[in-house]
Amino acid sequence: MNTKRILLLVILSATFLQCRKLKKVVTKKSETFNDETNNFILQKRLHKLKEYSQKATKRLAALSDYSNFYNKYLTEILRSRVPGTVGHARVKNFIIRKLQEYNWDVKTQNFTMWTPLGPKNFTNIIGTLNPRADRVLALAAHYDSKILPVVNGKFFTAATDSAVPCAMLLDFARDLSDKAKEITSTLEQVSPQLLFLDGEEAFVEWTKTDSIYGSRYMAASMINASHWNPKLALHEISQLDSMDAFVLLDLLGAKDPTFYNWFPTTSRLYESLKKIEKNLRAEGQLFGVNHKHYSGHYFTGQRPEDIGIYGKIDDDHVPFMQKGVPILHIIPYPFPSTWHTLNDDEEHLDPTTIEDLLKIFRHFIFSYFSLE
């Protein structure tokens, strides 16, 4: 065997060994990343809500107070909020200011979309309590209002649609901010995220292109944005994938709301709300009754099909649902009788029902993040 042949064999042998070592390193890294991804998915599926004692239940219920809710938040939002108007800008700035005051990480999405009335500017607001958490539970509401003619000097203030839901999110933001000072292991893994969506209402007539401007933009941008955690981003996990669920609050504040279990993928969360309501009633902490349902409960446990309702409601959740995010839609059916009329105002709200819902939702949120 000549010298050149021996040298070639040595080089080939060394290259083969290096390739084997490199393959082992790549395989090990791939396994590590797969473990990260699998653990991420598993945590979303197995997330458990905290159970509270009777004493803790009463303590949580005491945090809800309608007069405080009304004076601190609702009065600032109860105004005409059509995109491009002074009222809309005032409410937008109020929401951002409050989230910043409560030390949430605040990001805005400023964008322009074509409408039947020409190009319009919109702003989505995203508040995240712990922006370094791998996962989020998104709680959403739209803050714009529909265009309705002014009658005898009266403007459309869209109290249930959705001034009350937005005020609720800010009310929860304050309490969650207080708890963030002592971040639990749960909050390190999953964070509450508050989404204030713009442009839900149609400018002329509800169609696929004249409606839900903000949610369409947000869902599209989030699915194309890499997860902040590089280990998850390497496996094409997006910001949208970080959502455990998208919880949408809409048309809240009127008397006798009935909430149905719209989506099987979030039945577990819906059943938690139902159980929380039942426990709060047993403790004498709820004072409103749903006169439209024989049970007297807001969360009846029924699916829409059980009473002959088929199909789904078009709302801000649709773009997220189409991209695979589990949806919990908290919307009364039938809609309030004041829906899209000038009577959807402060005078037609029911403070007792609102305070009941504040107690139920606050308990649910604290339970989800294992807060005391």
Active-site positions read 200, 250
Q: 17 CB contacts (<8 Å, ≥6 apart)?
A: none
In the numeric block, which tokens belong to residue 92?
A: 């937008």
Can you name the residues that pair with 107 across neighbouring β-strands? Answer: 126
Of 173, 192, 185, which is closest to residue 130 (Cα–Cα)? 192
Distance between CA atoms of residues 213 and 112, nearest Å:
9
Can you name the residues that pair with 197 across neighbouring β-strands? Answer: 142
Contact status, residue 252 vs residue 354, Cβ threshold 8 Å = yes
In the sheet where 105-115 sits, what is the strand order? 105-115, 118-128, 190-197, 135-142, 243-249, 327-330
C-alpha to C-alpha distances, 15 to 4, 6, 9, 20, 24, nearest whole angstrom: 16, 14, 10, 9, 14
Burial per residue of 76-112, b for 16 or more beta-carbon CB atoms within 10 angstroms, e otherwise: bbbbbbbbebebbeebbebbbebbeebebebeebebe
The contacts found for 233-240 with CB under 8 angstroms, 24 or more apart, are 234/33, 235/33, 235/34, 235/36, 235/37, 237/37, 237/40, 240/320, 240/323, 240/325
Distance between CA atoms of residues 302 and 116, nearest Å:
38
